[in-house]
Amino acid sequence: MIGVSTYLESKASWGVWELPAALLPVGYPRLVQGAGGIAAMLPPDDPSYADEVVARLDGVVIAGGPDVEPVRYGAEREERTGPPARERDAWELALIEAALRSGTPLLGICRGMQLLNVALGGTLVQHMEGHVESVGVFGTHEVKPVPGTLYESIVPAASAVPTYHHQAVDRLGRGLVVSAYAADGTPEAVELPSAGWVLGVQWHPEMGDDLRVMAALVGAARG
């Protein structure tokens, strides 16, 4: 059972309805299911419930989404940083901390990787160029694994990945190591060797057909 955090939108449309919604692009549950897991959605909730929620799961995925509010890492908001998603920030940081305390396998995807870094005291670059094809369009670029890392044991050679982000890891959080880079030197994966199975990837595996990272998470959850 793999819990996946969700978006929280003030307005979404389907059928005849236009209502507030907790939602998740279908690529996320399909990725979990394709790797042999069962996906459970984790919409924002009271952060005090995070330990109880994580105790019922075998693995946790922090999904992509809006920019992390800069106050979370002690910075002022820059002009091109998006509006805050405070309920998501609070809930997902609590989920990350609960997973780290309990040793539950944890995967952060894009925003999820950035939140993992922030949870451990790291900071973010608030705007960078070259990792977004165009607004609403995923691009592709190559990432290269760092030898000897967890990520390299999962994906041992350079590979092309679906990408859409304008922020990135700046100062690494406590204990994190970079386990993959883009050609321009941007950290594309980070991991926490001291805490079991903890990995963050800057790209969007749910937008591609490579199951290896999610299959490794599901395997760790089964173990």
User: In this structure, what are the phi and psi dihedrals at residue 193, rounded to the nearest 5 degrees?
Assistant: -60, -25
The span from the CA of 41 to the CA of 110, in Å, is 17
- Nearest CA to 217 out of 59, 10, 8 is that of 59
Asked about 206 being catalytic, the answer comes back as yes
Catalytic residue among 110, 131, 188, 191: 110
The count of other CB atoms within 10 Å of the CB of residue 98 is 21
The span from the CA of 95 to the CA of 89, in Å, is 10
Output helix, strand, coil percentages for the chain, rounded to the nearest 5. 30, 30, 40
Catalytic residue among 69, 131, 188, 204: 204
Catalytic residue among 69, 92, 188, 206: 206
Token pair for residue 110? 């894009």
Token pair for residue 12? 């979404």
Which positions are annotated as active-site residues? 110, 204, 206
